[in-house]
Chain A
Amino acid sequence: MPMILDHRLDHIYAAIADPTRRAIIDLLVRGETTVGELAGRFPMSFNGVSKHVKVLERAGLLTRRVSGREHWVALRPAPLADAAHWLDHYRAFWGTRLAALEQMLIDEDAAKPRPRARRTVRRK
């Protein structure tokens, strides 16, 4: 089972909770880009965007490389992919358990002795 529940998770959850950062991730899905290019897409200062990028970087969700003056950032989906695997595992686990619960109750009812049909006895 992948390591998704380690101490970095607090950073990841905080990173994902912000809508601007989710929008940045959305943009990065399409491919690598520069921080400058990202900043141009949001109605906030370059520093504002840069701070969001740093939060994502600290959460391990993006990587940065510097080329001359430009900072190229790319999505690092591994932590998210790990979370997706965890979800798949437990979705299957609980789905199976709930089906087993239903079957167990069905079997319990089936095992109950059937009430006998009443016979009317006529007495003279």
Chain B
Amino acid sequence: MTLPDSSAPTLVVRRTIPFPRERVFDAWLDPKRLAQFMRPASGRQAIVEVDPKAGGKFRIAMLHPKSPPDGTVHTGEYLLIERPSRLVFTWISPSTEQRATTVTVDFIERPGGTEIVLTHVALPPKQIEGHRAGWTEILGLLERLTL
């Protein structure tokens, strides 16, 4: 499944880290490791359940002092698991108003490590369309507005 430019709000975050792809990829599907790096900065811990297969679901409860007793809950479903190169899942949380958004994580082999490229689109997977982006241009326009 390719993820084309979208006309929905889309962000891309990249980071290159000095570890092999397999290890970086596996951290995303291992409940203990996922709980570790999903822990909120201000929080005590994250509690994670993972069913690591296509169609399987995950649940991440982030506990911190200000959240309700069960924590802030993030859920989703794995759409594609292609070890060690690509992971696609839906992401649903209070910050997405409990609507499905789509996250694609690509793991690219680089000298000495792995480049992680994370794309988050504010649409459920079936609604992501294949035409050229409008959002980058539009947000550029917004900046002009606020100047």
A14 contacts across to B, CB distance below 8 A: 7
Asked whether, in the complex, the Cβ of A22 is within 8 Å of the Cβ of B17, the reply is no
- Assess the B15–A102 pair: CB atoms within 8 A: yes
The contact string, 1 if C-beta is below 8 Å from chain A, for chain B 4-31, is 0001111101010101000110010000
Residue in B24, B97, B131 whose beta carbon sits within 8 Å of that of A1 in the complex: B97
Q: Count how many pairs of residues, one from A and one from B, have CB atoms less than 8 Å apart in the complex.
A: 106
The one of A77, A83, A100 in contact with B37, judged by C-beta atoms closer than 8 angstroms, is A100
Chain B nearest CB: distance from A104 CB in Å?
5
Question: Are A105 and B15 neighbours in the complex by a CB distance under 8 Å?
Answer: no
B79 CB within 8 Å of chain A: no
A83 to B95, CA, bound (A): 12
B16–chain A nearest beta-carbon distance, Å: 9
0/1 interface trace, chain A 1-24, chain B, CB 8 Å (1 if under):
101111001100110111000100
Residues of B in contact with A (beta carbons under 8 Å apart): 7-11, 13, 15, 17, 19, 23-24, 27, 33, 36-39, 41, 94-97, 99, 101, 116, 118, 120, 122-123, 127, 129, 131-132, 134-135, 137-139, 141-142, 144-145
